[in-house]
């Protein structure tokens, strides 16, 4: 499948999820935070997943979804999807939650889209074609030292790591994309191998095409199509800051 068809499929999927989720959240009471079938899952995750699957199945691709697992693994392209990354934020009306999509072929990530479902901000990337936010090219910040940096955390570190400031926002895909466009300087996953490929793969291509840096804290391969795989991603805009964050993360 060529890149134009892939990006069109990702666009259509995001549009379907945004529309269905908007209807669900509009119709549900503010206090309606109905849980799904597994820990951490909400009904809104399932509503969004159904909308995403309907589009992706018509597109003839394999699917790896956080909510519904791996489907058609023998397809030439697998789309890794988190229908709502940051679903607790969505359930509480906090505008930091997104759909994350990454189309993976035999060469790795080929096209990606991460869209903030509350604000509409869209990060996109095509392999070899650069990264964009709302259609404009992005690039990371030039901070080299953690003591001059704003970092975003997933989870809680055991101690202050020397940052100038930090944020903990609750949606990894958007956190990582914010490194790609320089709104934050770095990102540290402080959990122990808790993030699935749907959490970071869409942002991973955005980061790569923007010229930023990303790796697993334990040195494991990030591009995996396994529903049981979990990783600890670390990202930064510069190689110097990236090395510092990796070293700090390795201490616990």
Question: What is the share, in percent, of the chain residues with pLDDT greater than 70?
Answer: 95
Q: What is the mean pLDDT of residues 127-131?
A: 97
Distance in angstroms (rounded) separating the CA atoms of residues 233 and 226: 16
Write the pLDDT tens digit of every residue in 158-178. 999 999 999 999 999 999 999
Looking at the fold, whether 33 and 87 belong to one and the same domain comes out as yes
Scored b (16 or more CB within 10 A) or e, 46-57 reads bbbbebbbebbe
Task: Name the pLDDT band for 27 (thresholds 50, 70, 90).
Answer: confident
Looking at the fold, whether 164 and 220 belong to one and the same domain comes out as yes
Axis-axis angle for helices 3-27, 43-58 (nearest 10): 150
Count of helix runs (H) and strand runs (E) in the chain: 6, 13
Distance in angstroms (rounded) separating the CA atoms of residues 189 and 147: 18
| Final residue belonging to a domain, choices 137, 167, 196 | 137
Rg, C-alpha atoms of the chain: 17
Looking at the fold, whether 20 and 82 belong to one and the same domain comes out as yes
Q: How many domains does the chain have?
A: 2
Looking at the fold, whether 11 and 93 belong to one and the same domain comes out as yes
Question: What is the share, in percent, of the chain residues with pLDDT greater than 90?
Answer: 91
CATH classification at residue 197: 3.40.190.80
Residue 157, pLDDT score: 95
**Which residues, other chains included, contact 246 with Cβ-Cβ below 8 Å and sequence gap of 6+?**
215, 217, 234
Write the pLDDT tens digit of every residue in 41-69. 899 999 999 999 999 999 999 999 999 99
| Final residue belonging to a domain, choices 84, 114, 137 | 137
Looking at the fold, whether 14 and 119 belong to one and the same domain comes out as yes
Write the pLDDT tens digit of every residue in 67-89. 999 999 999 999 999 999 999 99
pLDDT at residue 231 is higher than 50: yes
| Final residue belonging to a domain, choices 107, 137, 167 | 137
Distance in angstroms (rounded) separating the CA atoms of residues 132 and 107: 21
pLDDT at residue 21 is higher than 90: yes
Per-residue H/E/C for 177-222: HHHHCCCCCEEEECCCCCECHHHHHHHHHHHHHHCCEEEECCCCCC
Which structure tokens are listed for 4?
């134009």
Q: What is the mean pLDDT of residues 116-130?
A: 98
Looking at the fold, whether 12 and 112 belong to one and the same domain comes out as yes
Residue 3, pLDDT score: 86
Task: Kindly report the backbone phi and psi dihedral angles of residue 114, in degrees, each rounded to the nearest multiple of 5, phi listed first.
Answer: -125, 115
Residue 35, pLDDT score: 59
Looking at the fold, whether 27 and 82 belong to one and the same domain comes out as yes
Which structure tokens are listed for 99?
């759909």
pTM over 0.85: yes
Task: Name the pLDDT band for 39 (thresholds 50, 70, 90).
Answer: low
Structural domain that includes position 242 = 146-249
Looking at the fold, whether 121 and 194 belong to one and the same domain comes out as no
Distance in angstroms (rounded) separating the CA atoms of residues 160 and 157: 7
CB 209 within 8 A of CB 241: no
CATH classification at residue 7: 3.30.540.10
Looking at the fold, whether 7 and 122 belong to one and the same domain comes out as yes
Distance in angstroms (rounded) separating the CA atoms of residues 225 and 117: 24
Residue 36, pLDDT score: 54
Looking at the fold, whether 30 and 122 belong to one and the same domain comes out as yes
Looking at the fold, whether 200 and 222 belong to one and the same domain comes out as yes
Report which of residues 209 and 3 the model is more confident about: 209
Looking at the fold, whether 132 and 9 belong to one and the same domain comes out as yes
């Amino acid at each position: 499948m060529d890149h134009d068809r892939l990006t069109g499929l990702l666009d259509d999927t995001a549009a379907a999820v945004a529309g269905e989720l908007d209807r669900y959240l509009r119709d549900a009471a503010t206090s309606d935070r109905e849980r799904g079938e597994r820990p951490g899952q909400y009904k809104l995750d399932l509503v969004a997943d159904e909308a995403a699957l309907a589009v992706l199945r018509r597109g003839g691709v394999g699917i790896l979804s956080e909510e519904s697992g791996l489907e058609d693994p023998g397809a030439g392209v697998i789309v890794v999807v988190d229908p709502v990354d940051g679903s607790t934020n969505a359930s509480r009306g906090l505008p930091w939650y997104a759909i994350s999509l990454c189309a993976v072929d035999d060469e790795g990530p080929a096209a990606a889209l991460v869209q903030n479902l509350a604000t509409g901000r869209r990060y996109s990337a095509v392999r070899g074609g650069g990264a964009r936010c709302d259609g404009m090219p992005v690039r990371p910040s030039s901070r080299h030292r953690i003591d001059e940096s704003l970092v975003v955390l997933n989870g809680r570190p055991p101690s202050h790591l020397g940052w100038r400031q930090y944020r903990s926002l609750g949606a990894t895909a958007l956190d990582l994309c914010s490194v790609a466009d320089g709104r934050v300087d770095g990102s540290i996953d402080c959990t122990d191998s808790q993030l699935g490929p749907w959490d970071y793969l869409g942002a991973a291509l955005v980061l790569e095409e923007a010229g930023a840096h990303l790796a697993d804290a334990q040195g494991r391969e990030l591009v995996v199509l396994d529903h049981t795989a979990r990783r600890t991603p670390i990202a930064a805009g510069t190689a110097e800051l990236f090395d510092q964050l990796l070293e700090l993360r390795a201490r616990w």
